[in-house]
Amino acid sequence: MKNRFIAAAAMPAALVGAVNNGLARTPQMGWNNWNTFACDVSEKLLLETSKLLGDYGLKDLGYQYVVLDDCWSTGRGDDGYLVPDTAKFPEGMGAVADKLHKEGFLFGMYSSAGEMTCARYAGSLDYETQDAESFASWGVDYLKYDNCYHMGRMGTPLISFNRYNEMAKALKKTGRSILYSLCSWGEDYVHTWGGSIANSWRISGDIYDSFARPDDLCACNNAADPACVAPGTHCSVLAIINKVATFVDRGLPGAWNDLDMLEVGLGGMTEEEYKAHFAMWAALKSPLLLGNDLRKMDATTLSIINNPAIIAVSQDPKGRSAIRISRNLEAPIDEHGVGETQVWSGALANGDQVVIFLNAADEDVDMSATLSELFVMHGPGGSAPHVKQDWTVRDLWGNEGARMSKGVAQAVLDATSEGERNGILKRENWYNATATPYAEGLEQGDARLLGERVGTVKAGGRLEARVPRHAAKVFRLQSASGKTGTAKSSLKDEL
């Protein structure tokens, strides 16, 4: 087998991270085929999608991984190595990687830590060394590693850790830098050990295209519940948010809680629900992996997933998730018996604060929180110095300096040439993270990352907003005095 290994990048002396491979210093971004296409995969699909990621300006916003999910092999050869399906990938996996790399993308693949994958193709359990060698030789940059058919090797954190660690060791042995993404569905308290060996770990059963509908296939909302033995599937956006709320702080640069792939654009939610879904995944520092068919994307979807002010929260170099500071379960319930509101707040690297008012109730709701509540993680009872200053409020879904208008988004989609699309994006001065990384843009105070200014909260005051049904209001608070707490630090100090 021809090897094309790439040595892992040298690690900076100051870098602290358990997995210690230098990858995913901010949550990974890209596209995965599973949510729309399942097993209907091919080289043609991956290359057509990657072209559109580039054409629509999404690659330059950070969507760099093109991840092939299940159903790509025909089993194992006599030598024990996986054999790609040549009907789907006639030139082999290495050729796919080469073509994606040439266009500036990174290539992801899939396997399972079981005897079979979830679609019942050959899994990698007990073949970790051979499969890691294959992935590395093909030029793979990302491995999504599932949890089906594990032959009973689960039930305690240590058993699951050991099973997943076999692939971690095998990947490391290849010498190639490969992002390692566990898909263990939150099983065996993966949030307590995933960061030791992987760059991300799934915390729940599979997501489906619903904002809040309960489903018996996703019955476990509390990872600490000892009866939660079946993470399941059909997990709504709200169910996943409520599950991760108690351990969002386990995510750190290089190792992230994974709330599963994005459903934006699949058609099962309203525009406001999709906006809330996208914003919560960004603020909770989940990987942002698109799951829609870009060949059929509409303007509404593009104007959600290309919002640089929301993405800047995801890619903030501080790398800390927002924290839920309040939850009201007495809100009006909808047709599914669901009704609640939540307030989330989190520190950003330049001293700003992200605040989200999430309304899962059945009607529009007036929501509010005091500065004392919003900065409680900096000091209880209003003792945080942040409470004693004024804060400028910026709406990250605002029409000025944040979200692309649907008319412009439609023009991007309708453009018939790369030059025409590039001209539209240039005319709109749309953000390009390839040219100016988010950390630099935030350091420079780039208005395209900060949202639309909508007001001020005075010292000791209260942030208030009316939030539509099944929606989220997302704000960036900036110190009106230029101070944050005791003194404003630069982004460089946070890295």
Catalytic (active site) residue 146:
yes
Residue 130: CB atoms within 10 A of its CB come to 18
371: left (phi over 0), alpha (psi -120 to 50) or beta: alpha
- Return d(Cα 171, Cα 165) in angstroms, integer: 10
Contact of 293 with 323, CB cutoff 8 Å:
no
Contact of 363 with 469, CB cutoff 8 Å:
yes
179: its two tokens: 């992002």
Contact of 144 with 68, CB cutoff 8 Å:
no
Query: Strand locations in 310-376, DSSP E?
Result: 323-328, 341-347, 353-359, 365-370
Marked catalytic residue, from 60, 146, 258, 362: 146
Marked catalytic residue, from 55, 188, 206, 260: 206
Catalytic (active site) residue 78:
no
Contact of 311 with 62, CB cutoff 8 Å:
yes
Query: Strand locations in 323-470, DSSP E?
Result: 323-328, 341-347, 353-359, 365-370, 391-395, 452-457, 462-467
Instruction: Read off φ and ψ for residue 244, nearest 5 degrees.
Output: -80, -15
Question: In one letter, which amino acid is 219?
Answer: A
Residues with catalytic function: 146, 206
